Amino acid sequence: MSKNQLSPRDRWFPAVRLATDGVLIAVYFVLSYYLQHLEFSGVRLSFVGLPLLLCAVLFGPLDAVLVAFLGEFLAQMVAWGFTPTTLVWCAPETIRALLLGLACTIFADRLTADRLGRGKSLPLYFAVGIAAALVTSCANTAAYYVDSKLYGYYTFELIFGVLWIRLAAGAVIAVLMAGVSVPLFAALNKAGVFSRRGRGR
């Protein structure tokens, strides 16, 4: 990274970082709660991974996990109240956020908003998104299993019979979300978010 660029994960003001996390939690909640009807025979079409992708690239795993957990917890509380499986349902997207954040930490020199906004490292970025989505789909299946056993609606067909559809849908949506996020990073680059100008450093 050149001296004229800013790493958001390391150098953004804490107040800006917290405010950004708050906005991403709100976006997560809207995508999760108001689009929760996009579910067909146990296959949930969810776009909540988008704010998690953004947060993971910008700030790393801790912020991404915070956004995922609080966003999903809020959506669960509003939709169902606190139930024995509330935390179980919070786990899949929290796992996705952790995986994305860890990948952005491991590949810190390649998976930056600056590089992605300039169209670099995209194959790696898309591969990370797809891998995290596949793990999340498996975690969602585990959550369905626990919930179905506890509430007595378990059938093999409902929980495991559509796993391959969950995996395929998760991979496709991951590609779409990664594709949408790249222009967002480009817009941040154009706005000068990653320049040192005005940061006093």
Q: Which domain CATH number covers 80? A: 1.10.1760.20
Residues 60 and 100: beta-carbon distance below 8 Å: no
Residue of 165 and 37 predicted with greater confidence:
165
Domain extent, residue 181, equals: 8-190
Classify residue 178: in a domain, yes or no: yes
Closest CA to 88 of 69, 107, 106, 61: 69
- The model's confidence at residue 34, banded by pLDDT at 50, 70 and 90, is confident
Q: What does each C-alpha distance from 129 to 83, 126, 158 come to in angstroms? A: 30, 5, 26
Q: Are 159 and 42 in contact (CB under 8 A)?
A: yes
Q: What average pLDDT does this structure show over 172-184?
A: 93
Q: Is residue 2 part of a domain?
A: no
The DSSP result for 31-82, as a single string, is HHHTTTT-EETTEE---THHHHHHHHHHH-HHHHHHHHHHHHHHHHHHHH-S
Flag whether 166 is in a domain.
Answer: yes
**Cα–Cα distance measured from residue 101 to residue 105, given in angstroms and rounded to the nearest whole number:** 6
pLDDT band at 25 (very low <50, low <70, confident <90, very high): very high
Total structural domains within the chain = 1
Provide the pLDDT for residue 42.
Answer: 52
Q: Tell me what pLDDT residue 5 has.
A: 44
Kindly report, residue by residue over 55-92, the tens digit of the pLDDT.
Answer: 999 999 999 999 999 999 999 999 899 999 999 999 99
